Every structure is written in structure tokens, then in C-alpha cells.
Amino acid sequence: AGLQPAVCLAIRVNTFLSCSQYHKMYRTVKAITGRQIFQPLHALRNAEKALLPGCHPFEWKPPLKNVSTSTDVGIIDGLSGLNRSVDEYPVDAISKRFRYDAALVSALKDLEENILEGLKSEDLEEYLSGPFIVVIKESCDGMGDVSEKHGCGPAVPEKAVRFSFTIMNISVTDSKNGSVRIFEEAKPNSELCCKPVCLMLADESDHETLTAILGPLIAERESMKCSELLLEIGGIRRSFKFIFRGTGYDEKFVREVEGLEASGSVYICTLCDATRLEASQNLVFHSITRSHGENLQRYETWRANPYHESVDELRDRVKGVSAKPFIETLPSIDALHCDIGNAAEFYRIFQLEIGEVYKNSKATTEERKKWQATLDKHLRKRMNLKPIMRMNGNFARKLMTKETVEAICELIHSEERKMALTELMDLYLKMKPVWRSSCPAKECPELICQYSYHSQRFAELLSTKFKYRYEGKITNYFHKTLAHVPEIIERDGSIGAWASEGNESGNKLFRRFRKMNARQSKTYEMEDVLKH
């Protein structure tokens, strides 16, 4: 007997074979062995249909507002659902997406066995009809340059944006035990559980295109928040309610979609109203005050200026909200970008320590370039770290270690400075697991208890030994790391689990699939990448 079509499909996708490459392999194997071990392409296509959104019947109670009741919708044009008027901004971006509710249904059907297993292991009635509460992590990120790297002529930068979700946990209320969790995603940052909803060839900074394409998707999400899904799981019709938490966004994206000024703004934070100066004078004690609702109110104030204030007074009143927020994000910290932002800052501190800026702050551009070259050369020699154009997660992970600081100290003459730098890194490495691990209460409970002490000592070092850099200013991610981590951990239990990492890994696959698996036509390739 040959392999099942679904197995053949998994082989084709995981080995990055295009349809024609797979077909050649299928024909060759059949000709040589005289047996049909692999299945033909049409069988794979049928198997694929069953795995993609649009295959399972479901119903919403009440029906979703402005969303069709048909359930057999697969890949649709990214611009469908967009109301266009003649004089509106012309959107010509290529985009493909699933209907959000159909994608959620498909993801729940993938977890059918886990749900039934969870009911069994918690000693709950297996015919419980719900409502089951499903918590969703939403992520969205621009992918930089994804242009094809072959052909002649100048390379045209082509940017892409990917919106996806992860089912984080499912719970159900039981008459005896109250709310019981029957499923929890074990690897919340894996690309395998990060389901794509929408792909577009557009720049995340192009506000008009972004709002036009994500607008209908966000409208679907808003409708789903007030409705119940009825879906058959294990042969029984059950009801599901969804809680959406937009946490998988980097700071640039949060500012873009919540109507805040760009990250160089004097309003340093997406969680509180602190200015850069206030944050540098009070490094640790801040509370999360911003919210999507407040941003909407502030935008109305900015637009209407009800108190007839000057621009500066008005800006101070609305704390940097100057555009209409259009995606609800949860005020949080993205662990991956926190890592990257903080590593970029340590990389800068290393250069300044090599150049002894604490003694003499007036250095020329040439001198500063020389310090960077010295640092890069030493990191390559001692840590096998090759210089990169832009800080990324892998470089950040390798840079932020005890060994790196020991290597850097070889270039520093003053014993006092060596001790200060070593202590700064040591404190940072004690704080990092709290916001990086998926379940800090299990993985590092003692570090959670010590976090406030470590962050206060870190802040003390910045304002004394590293005063030359942090007098009157602080970086956005240092502020978040020092001021907001304990409050978020108390609220959510974790920061690391809610990161954008799964979506970032999906970006990597996007490039790979686009190169290997997609039909070479603008209209079809987005479909093919979205399917995989």
C-alpha cells in the first residue's frame, strides 16, 4: 500500500518541493518500482482542501454582523469586505487572506483530539457542550525586504506584512470545579501553532494600505467578540467564545495601529504616559495606564480640540496620540523585540566603554567608528560573532552573555569600569528570564521575587556609573524592562509566551515557500504561501 495523500502533502511541503518537482518524483518512483508509493497531485490537492479553512460547517449565534453566513470560504482576496468609494485612496496591494472565523474553526478542528483528551484528563463529561472559552494571541509584523533575488536590473524592495493568530488555551466551566483549563499550547512561540490569516505585499509603514486590508479582518474580529461559535467537536455540537489578545506586535507596529507618535517621540512608552525625561528621572516606578479605549478618546480630543488649546498644550493633553487607532492591542511588552532593543543598547554601551566616554564625552565620528570596528573585531575573534547590519534575535541572544562581557573587559583598562559593566550585565541576565520564559512561575520563581531589587539596582547603576549616557534620557525598551515587567507578569502570568516569535518564524518560512513552492505569478504566489 502507498502513502496516504495527507502524508505525501506533508512530505512535499516540509521538503519545500514545488508541484512540478513533486510530480517528477512521483512519476520517477512509479516508473522505477512499478508501484504507486506516492499519490498523484490531484489527491494531494483534495487532502489539502480538508486541512484548510472553509472545509467545516459552523454557525454563529447571533450571526456575525456584515459577514456572510456561508462556511465554505477558503482563500479570498485580501481586499474583499472593503467598502470603496470613488474618491478613496486606491489600494492596489496584492493580498490574500482567510476569513477570520473560518481560520479559527480550522484551527479548532486541528485541536479536536486535544480538546477531547483534555476533557477526559480533567474528569469532565465528554459530552459537555460549553461554552468553551478560547484565548487567542494575535500577531502582525512587517517582513522587510522579501523581493526575489534573481533576474537583472535594480532590485526593487518588496515588503510584506503577515497577520496571524495562535490558540493559547481553552477552558470550560464545570458545575463542580468552576473554570477548568482543558488545553494549553505547550510551544506558544512555534511557527507550527501560529496560523496565518492574511498575507499582503505591502509596507507596514503604508498606513492607508494597512488599514484598508486589515480593516475588514478587524471588523470580523469585533463581531466575533459579541457572538458564540457553534461547531461540532467529537460528534457533538459545542459552543465557543473567543477572547482576543493583541500582544505579538513590536513597538513600531503598536504605535502605528494605536495612533501613537513614532518611537523617537518624547512620549517614550506604549504602556504609560511618561515622557523620556520623566522616565529617565524615575526609572522604575510607573503603572500601565494606556488602553485602546483611551487612545480612541484622546484621538477625538486631538481632532476636535474642545478646549481651544495651542498645539503643544493639546499634544500634552493627548500624550502623543495623533492618529485614529484601528487595531486593539493589549498594553504589553514583546519579549523578542525587548531582547533585540536591549541588546542593541548594550552593544552601544560596549563601544562607549572601549572609547572611555565616561572621561571624555567629546569624540569625533571617526573615533566612534574606530571603537565600533575594535568591538566588532574582538567579538568575531573571541565570541565568533560576525558583525551584522541590523540587530536580530540570534545576535542578541549570543551577545547578551557573561562570556561576552568577560571578552569586552579585555579591552577596558579601568578595573572600576570592568566591575560596573560586569554587574550591569549580571543584573540584566537575572532579569531577562522573567520576561523571556514562557512560564516564569515554574521556570524561575525566585527571580520573579528578586525582580524589583534587580531592576532598582540596574537603574541605580545607569544613573551613577553610566550617567554619561542616561542623564535626562533612556531607551524605550530599558524603560519597559525596568518599569513594567512585574505588573504584566502579575496580570498575565507570562510575557515570553505572548511574544511575536512564532509570527517571526513564520516570516522565515514565507521567504522559503515563496522561493521554492509558489507559482511564479503575483496573483497566485500569495495564495500558495498562505496555504503552506
> What are the tens digits of pLDDT across the range 263-317?
999 999 999 999 999 999 999 999 999 999 999 999 999 999 999 999 999 999 9
Q: Please check whether residues 154 and 178 belong to one and the same domain.
A: yes
**Above 60 in pLDDT, residue 520?**
no
**Does any domain span residue 171?**
yes
Angle between helices 485-492 and 476-483 (to 10 degrees): 60
Q: Please check whether residues 89 and 235 belong to one and the same domain.
A: yes
**Does any domain span residue 202?**
yes
Q: What is the pLDDT of residues 183-229, one digit of tens each?
A: 999 999 998 899 999 999 889 999 999 999 999 999 999 999 999 99
Q: Please check whether residues 196 and 227 belong to one and the same domain.
A: yes
Q: Which regions of 54-210 does DSSP assign to beta strands (E)? A: 59-61, 75-77, 94-98, 132-145, 159-174, 178-184, 195-201
In this structure, of 85-89, 225-229, 304-308, 427-431, the range with the lowest mean pLDDT score is 85-89
Q: Please check whether residues 111 and 244 belong to one and the same domain.
A: yes
Q: Please check whether residues 62 and 45 belong to one and the same domain.
A: no
Compute CA 1 distance to the chain's CA centroid, rounded to the nearest angstrom: 43
Say how far apart CA 399 and CA 395 lie, in whole Å: 6
**Does any domain span residue 115?**
yes
Q: What percent of the chain has pLDDT over 70?
A: 91
**Does any domain span residue 219?**
yes
Mean pLDDT of 245-257: 95
Q: Please check whether residues 195 and 244 belong to one and the same domain.
A: yes
Say how far apart CA 132 and CA 105 lie, in whole Å: 13
| Domain extent for 23 | 5-49
Compute CA 363 distance to the chain's CA centroid, rounded to the nearest angstrom: 38
Closest CA to 105 of 50, 161, 148: 50
Say how far apart CA 328 and CA 214 lie, in whole Å: 12
Q: Which pLDDT band holds residue 52 (cuts at 50, 70, 90)?
A: confident
Look at 521 and 243; give whichever has higher pLDDT.
243
Quick one: pLDDT at residue 16?
Answer: 83
Per-range mean pLDDT, top range of 15-24, 43-52, 69-78, 399-408: 399-408
Question: What's the CA angle centered on 95, arms 94 and 101, to 5 degrees?
Answer: 165
Closest CA to 134 of 97, 172, 101: 172
Contact assessment for residue 161 and residue 41, using Cβ atoms and an 8 Å cutoff? no
Mean pLDDT of 139-144: 86
Q: What is the pLDDT of residues 440-473, one digit of tens each?
A: 999 999 999 999 999 999 999 999 999 999 999 9
126 CB neighbour count, 10 Å cutoff: 10
**Does any domain span residue 356?**
no
**Does any domain span residue 32?**
yes
Read off the pTM: 0.87
SS3 434: helix
Mean pLDDT, the chain, rounded, equals 91
Q: Please check whether residues 63 and 142 belong to one and the same domain.
A: yes
Q: What is the pLDDT of residues 317-347, one digit of tens each?
A: 999 999 999 999 999 999 999 999 999 999 9
Q: Please check whether residues 10 and 33 belong to one and the same domain.
A: yes
Q: Please check whether residues 98 and 246 belong to one and the same domain.
A: yes
**Does any domain span residue 509?**
yes
Contact partners, residue 85, CB within 8 Å, separation at least 6: none
Q: Which residue has the cell 524615575?
A: 282
**Above 80 in pLDDT, residue 260?**
yes
Q: Which pLDDT band holds residue 86 (cuts at 50, 70, 90)?
A: very low
φ and ψ at 255, to 5 degrees? Answer: -60, -40
**Above 90 in pLDDT, residue 356?**
yes
Q: Work out the end-to-end distance of the chain between its first and last CA atoms, rounded to an integer number of angstroms.
A: 27
Q: Please check whether residues 235 and 105 belong to one and the same domain.
A: yes
Q: Please check whether residues 150 and 66 belong to one and the same domain.
A: yes
Q: Please check whether residues 209 and 101 belong to one and the same domain.
A: yes
**Does any domain span residue 494?**
no
Q: How many domains does the chain have?
A: 2
In this structure, of 153-157, 374-378, 474-478, the range with the lowest mean pLDDT score is 153-157
